[in-house]
A and B are shown apart, each in its own frame.
Chain A
Amino acid sequence: MTTMRSRINVRDAALSMAAPILAVAFATAVGSLILFVAGDPVGQTWQVMFDTAKQPRSIALIVNQGSVYYLSAIAVAVGFRMNLFNIGVDGQYRLAAFVAALTAAYIPAPGPVRIAAAILAAMVTGALWAGIAGLLRVTRGVSEVISTIMLNAIATSLVAYMLREVSVPVEGSNNIGTKPIPESARIPGIPLIPDSTQDVYGLVVVAVVAGIAYSVLLNRTRFGFDLRATGHSESAAQASGVNVKRMILTAMLISGAFAGLVGLPELLGQAYTYSLTFPAGLGFIGIAIALLGRNHPLGIAVGAALFSFLDVAANPLQIIADVSSEIVTIMQGIIVLAVVIAYEVIRRYRVTQEQRRVARQLEAPTEAQGVPA
């Protein structure tokens, strides 16, 4: 959470920056140790990862993957800012991507209209699915953590069922998917990275827009202020006239709408169909990245880039160095754990410093009265 103080404390800022850097260093150290103990080549592993990441193609892949992670983390962060845990981003984006795939494939309209309709359908679907959890929370007091976990599982089965009902075989495999989206409704890639055969998703723009929207919404609108206030103290917000129930429901809907976007860059920019192999599990990575970036739009961007870098760079590890690429998943887990511990320790350190400072200030003039034991 951001501090509400107007005075910028240089030491505080340095501490905040230090936490993620230390976490990454710690994770690298533990990763190296694990590699060493397992008998894998430590130096070669890091070498391969950095060599991979330097290639233009990898950079494009990192941007692509990172934009998807970013959207997922933004969706989670909206909830986090008001103490809501939307564990259900995973189910929300898969259901949304499925509906978007159908919308883009079947609506009889020119390409751009199809694209707009697909994006809208995805956001609405995501919002509605998250809204179920929001509704259960405000009307029946059901914890959103549990209900979103249940909704994830239900979404998995629901999508599997509907996919089987509407599917067509994907060419050249025994995979099944929705009817391919026509050429006119596909979003062309952007040749952003020079010398790369791999284009950047056209919908990278959406991630940037989402980041700006998130930032403006939270920091520049009354709604955002109410949302943050509710996150800090529900009772205080209630007392100042905020309708907390409506805030919870709205926050869930917005979080779900962002979640609906997660699958779109892949769907409209590369896969053109929702098939059995559509990526899953992005919602959980989003949670980790939102934590890493402390719900700050730029912090999340750095976190998304880091996780995406690790994923892309680890791809050739198996082939070149005979090292299992899951070593980076371990590192991602360690980074998250280390960083949340570090943030907590820093927060507590600040509180103690603050208490000492206040105590010193109070002590000076009223020394004679003493402190009651």
Chain B
Amino acid sequence: MSTTPTTETRRKSTAKAPRRLWPRVLIIISLGIIFLSAVRVVTGADDISSSGALNASLALAVPIGLAGLGGLWSERAGVVNIGLEGMMILGTWGAGFFGWQWGPWAGVLGGVALGALGGLLHAFTTVTFGVDHIVSGVAINILALGATQYLAAVAFSGKPGGGETRSPSIDDMPSLSVPGIGDPLGDLEAKNWFLISDLAAFARSLTVNVNALTIIAVALFVLTWFVLWRTVFGLRLRSCGESPSAAESLGVNVYRYKYYAVITSGALAGLGGAFLAIVASSSYRDGQTGGRGYIGLAAMIFGNWRPGGLGAGAGLFGYTNALQLRRGGESVHALLLVVAVLVIALAAWQLRSGFSRSVAVAGSIGVLVLTWYLLTDEVPEDFTRMTPYIATLLVLALASQRLRMPAADGQIYRRGQAG
């Protein structure tokens, strides 16, 4: 706590922060759209802002976002949750098992319940027994993978359309559209006008054929923000992640709040798994999560342990994923230009406060990417797959001073042993 600002400046900043936040977010989104639009016109890679790509991004971002949201709950209460991947895997099986027999909504509940079960186990080992959080998480990942593969073999073998590695198919989840808006927006998008078509595509991706579960996921983001930052419950929960002994001295039952947080965390990861099983592929499949639990964790760190930032991180990961699916080579090649310009701009921004090593690093990365863009026509598919991970590493490396995790995150807390 050596850099604590004076009380006055701090009061000012906390008073202003919520009011300032929304305009800033809107400005960033609009700048992003203008920028993408310009890049689209310059490079001719239409898919980088088509409504199809944006719609796909949203669908790909949801499971990552939900896993990240799970991580957020858990880490805000001071428990690191590497086990998100395992809880997500449990969620895919739960969704497959219940969804196949009793419909998609039962599948959602099943995924949530099994994910929560994984969370309960993690809480049991880390909170009750004080086992190292990462150790417990790794063990849960191993256990969850084995358990789902075994349960899948037992439950789905020989069932119509099912087998050892996949469940029979699950009925579709309803999709919602704002009526009467899709066609005019589609026409506008097809005109390929600068900015206007991109705005139309953006609006269309948010209003046409949006899955019910996607809407629920977005609502959960808002709900999480509200519960954790605007209620007494949330304040107490976060206090367990910042200073459990202080919370204890104020009469907060730290164990109980940690349990709540970690079980919620598992439930959210399970919901992410359910989304993968029900919406993304309409059945449980072995290996369906593909490490998305880990990416969710990365998105959460990327987003500085805040729901808004996490949403942006998940969106970015979903977007790069989506581009890779839609004429990947060309689209991601166009994206190189975006990255180059952004990183060089970042370097220029940092240069204002003097030349430093991070300016040099950012600047040279920018120039390298720009050279790459100019010398090639396409980016190999495998490199596009790396994009989110490299982005996370870069953010961690370049902006780690700006990141602030909960102060007691990952520390083992024993009741009554505060030092």
| Contact of A344 with B130 at beta-carbon distance under 8 Å, contacts A288-B139, A324-B154, A333-B139 already known | yes
Of A65-73, A134-142, A187-195, the one with at least 4 CB within 8 A of chain B: A134-142
Q: Which of A38, A146, A334, A336 contacts B298 (CB 8 A)?
A: A146
| Contact of A154 with B139 at beta-carbon distance under 8 Å, contacts A142-B397, A326-B146 already known | no
- In angstroms, Cα B131 to Cα A20, docked, is 16
Q: Which residues of A contact B131 (CB under 8 A)?
A: 340-341, 344
| Contact indicator B150/A336 (Cβ below 8 Å) | no
| Contact of A154 with B150 at beta-carbon distance under 8 Å, contacts A324-B164, A337-B139 already known | no
Q: How large is the interface on B (under 10, 10 to 19, 20 to 34, 35 or more residues)?
A: 35 or more
A145 is an interface residue with CB less than 8 A from chain B: yes
A17 is an interface residue with CB less than 8 A from chain B: no
Q: Which residue of B lies closest to A347 (CB)?
A: B130
Of B213-221, B325-333, B384-392, the one with at least 4 CB within 8 A of chain A: B384-392
Q: Which residues of A contact B135 (CB under 8 A)?
A: 291, 340
| Contact indicator A340/B386 (Cβ below 8 Å) | no
| Contact indicator B383/A284 (Cβ below 8 Å) | no
B297 is an interface residue with CB less than 8 A from chain A: yes
CB-CB contacts below 8 Å: B362-419 with A? 380, 382-383, 385-386, 389-390, 392-393, 396-397, 400
- In angstroms, Cα B383 to Cα A326, docked, is 33
CB-CB contacts below 8 Å: A317-366 with B? 324, 326-334, 336-337, 340-341, 344-345, 348
| Contact of A147 with B396 at beta-carbon distance under 8 Å, contacts A161-B380, A291-B135 already known | yes
Q: Which residues of B contact A158 (CB under 8 A)?
A: 382, 386
Q: Which of A153, A333, A340 contacts B294 (CB 8 A)?
A: A153
B109 is an interface residue with CB less than 8 A from chain A: no
Q: Which residues of B contact A328 (CB under 8 A)?
A: 146
B228 is an interface residue with CB less than 8 A from chain A: no
Least CB distance from A320 to B in Å reads: 15
Q: Which residue of A lies closest to B153 (CB)?
A: A324
| Contact indicator A150/B146 (Cβ below 8 Å) | no
A175 is an interface residue with CB less than 8 A from chain B: no
| Contact indicator A329/B146 (Cβ below 8 Å) | yes
| Contact of A337 with B297 at beta-carbon distance under 8 Å, contacts A140-B396, A157-B383 already known | no
B144 is an interface residue with CB less than 8 A from chain A: yes
- In angstroms, Cα B143 to Cα A345, docked, is 21
Q: Which residue of B lies closest to A160 (CB)?
A: B382
A85 is an interface residue with CB less than 8 A from chain B: yes
Q: Which of B125, B129, B149, B154 contacts A329 (CB 8 A)?
A: B149
Least CB distance from A86 to B in Å reads: 11
| Contact indicator B142/A288 (Cβ below 8 Å) | yes
| Contact indicator B142/A34 (Cβ below 8 Å) | no
| Contact indicator B142/A284 (Cβ below 8 Å) | yes
CB-CB contacts below 8 Å: A295-332 with B? 324, 326-332
B138 is an interface residue with CB less than 8 A from chain A: yes
Q: Which residue of A lies closest to B391 (CB)?
A: A150
Least CB distance from B301 to A in Å reads: 6
Q: Which residue of A lies closest to B399 (CB)?
A: A140
Q: Which of B82, B125, B151, B393 contacts A145 (CB 8 A)?
A: B82
| Contact indicator B298/A150 (Cβ below 8 Å) | yes
A105 is an interface residue with CB less than 8 A from chain B: no
Q: Which residues of B contact A39 (CB under 8 A)?
A: 154
Q: Which of B82, B142, B383 contacts A332 (CB 8 A)?
A: B142
A 129-171 to B, binary, CB cutoff 8 A, 1 in contact else 0: 0000000100011100111011101100110110010000000
Q: Which residue of A lies closest to B397 (CB)?
A: A140
Least CB distance from A66 to B in Å reads: 17
| Contact indicator B386/A153 (Cβ below 8 Å) | yes
- In angstroms, Cα B164 to Cα A151, docked, is 31
- In angstroms, Cα B154 to Cα A328, docked, is 14
Q: List 25 A-B contacts (CB under 8 A).
A: A38-B150, A85-B134, A140-B400, A142-B400, A146-B298, A146-B301, A153-B291, A154-B390, A157-B382, A158-B382, A160-B382, A284-B142, A285-B142, A291-B135, A324-B164, A326-B150, A327-B146, A329-B143, A330-B146, A332-B143, A332-B146, A333-B147, A334-B143, A340-B139, A345-B129
Binding site for A on B (CB under 8 A): 80, 82, 121, 125, 129-132, 134-136, 138-147, 149-151, 153-154, 164, 291, 294-295, 297-298, 301, 380, 382-383, 385-386, 389-390, 392-393, 396-397, 400
The 3 closest A-B pairs by CB, nearest first: A333-B143, A329-B146, A324-B153
Q: A330-B150, A337-B143, A345-B129 are in contact. List 15 more A-B contacts (CB 8 A).
A: A146-B392, A147-B396, A150-B392, A157-B382, A158-B382, A164-B382, A284-B142, A291-B135, A324-B153, A324-B164, A333-B139, A333-B144, A340-B136, A344-B130, A344-B131
